[in-house]
Amino acid sequence: MISFDALPDNAPLKNSLKNALSGRFPQTILLSGDAGSGLAEWAKTIAAALLCESGAARPCGACVSCRKAEQGVHPDLTIVDEGENELKVDLARRIKAENAIVPNDGDRRVTVIHHAQNLNPAAQNALLKVLEEPPGYAFFILTAEQPDALLQTVRSRCVDFALEPPKSAISDEEASALLAPYLDALAAGREDGLMKAALALEKTPRRALLTLFGLLQAALRDAVLAANGVQTLPLMPALSKQAAALSRAVSSARLLEAYDFIDVLLDRVSRNAASAGMTCALTSDLFRICYL
Ligand SMILES: [Zn+2]
């Protein structure tokens, strides 16, 4: 049953949403959070609350509107989720046209746009007008993993609600234990050993991948500094042996290239890219960058 209680614990956000719902709810909100933080469930629950027919706590989960919203068949609820695709101006025009029509069932119409950071500038400009002066019945919920990528003109129309970042799914110690054999194999120039170590990384959930890739990058930074003879406290003391070995095996130019490559991967993982195959791609590219 759709309800705020069914969402993962985030009391501050639940309270501020409930407060807003008991008054004049803003017509455009921006819900931001990391990939994997459940943005879709939160947005759907807020949409159900806006459409709920109950006079009491909304969403009640039991009325016809709540059930239609939960099943994704509410005629006044549009959910746009194009994954990682660019959201173009024709989509924005469609949303505008849809919102020019009064609602079917009740007195509200809700449009959810997921991954709003993928709206290209033309699409954002096309949406701006309706976000600035929406019809009284129209509500917009934009979700974004990277809210900063939205145009300031759009952001200024939105009331912000942010999910707390999810706790890391893996501790630094666990991550270091997984990364040590990986870096050992990389320093030894052993592609087969690297692939074997990558299989262990592959089993970690996506949220943990962000931590893993972040620590891997920190170890590479330590290796670059060591290769250049810079005396400094390592970022990853648990992997300093591996960083030292890497600094001897691979030139600092290549290590820097590997460091930048992980930046790209981190961006992809945080943008919701599937984790399957990520560590294998990482491994073959990392080997190529370091040795070929
Ligand atoms: Zn309801």
Q: Can you tell me the distance from the alpha carbon of 274 to that of 181, in angstroms, rounded to the nearest whole number? A: 24
Ligand 1 centroid to Cα of residue 286, in Å, is 51
Q: Can you tell me the distance from the alpha carbon of 149 to that of 20, in angstroms, rounded to the nearest whole number? A: 26
Q: Are residues 94 and 223 in the same domain?
A: no
Maximal CA-CA distance, the chain: 70
Q: Are residues 136 and 17 in the same domain?
A: yes
Q: Are residues 28 and 61 in the same domain?
A: yes
Ligand 1 centroid to Cα of residue 49, in Å, is 7
Contacts of 146 (CB under 8 A, 6+ apart): 117, 270, 271
Ligand 1 centroid to Cα of residue 156, in Å, is 30
Ligand 1 centroid to Cα of residue 68, in Å, is 9
Pair 114, 80: CB distance under 8 Å: yes
Ligand 1 centroid to Cα of residue 38, in Å, is 21
Last residue of a domain, one of 162, 188, 215: 162
Task: Say how many domains are in the chain.
Answer: 2
Ligand 1 centroid to Cα of residue 243, in Å, is 57
Q: Can you tell me the distance from the alpha carbon of 210 to that of 269, in angstroms, rounded to the nearest whole number? A: 7
Higher pLDDT, 283 or 160: 160
Last residue of a domain, one of 162, 194, 216: 162
Q: Are residues 136 and 213 in the same domain?
A: no
Q: Are residues 156 and 66 in the same domain?
A: yes
Ligand 1 centroid to Cα of residue 9, in Å, is 21
Tens-digit pLDDT profile for residues 274-286 = 555 677 777 888 8
Tell me, what CATH number does 238's domain have?
1.20.272
Please report, as a single letter, which amino acid is at residue 224: V
Ligand 1 centroid to Cα of residue 4, in Å, is 12
Ligand 1 centroid to Cα of residue 5, in Å, is 14
Mean pLDDT to the nearest integer, 144-162: 91
Does pTM surpass 0.85?
Answer: no
Ligand 1 centroid to Cα of residue 75, in Å, is 15
Q: Are residues 195 and 234 in the same domain?
A: yes
Q: Are residues 123 and 28 in the same domain?
A: yes
Q: Are residues 106 and 126 in the same domain?
A: yes
198 has a pLDDT exceeding 90: no
Last residue of a domain, one of 127, 162, 197: 162
167: in domain: no
Tell me, what CATH number does 96's domain have?
3.40.50.300
Confidence tier at 172 by pLDDT (50, 70, 90):
confident
Domain range for residue 206? 172-291
Token pair in block for residue 113: 């746009």
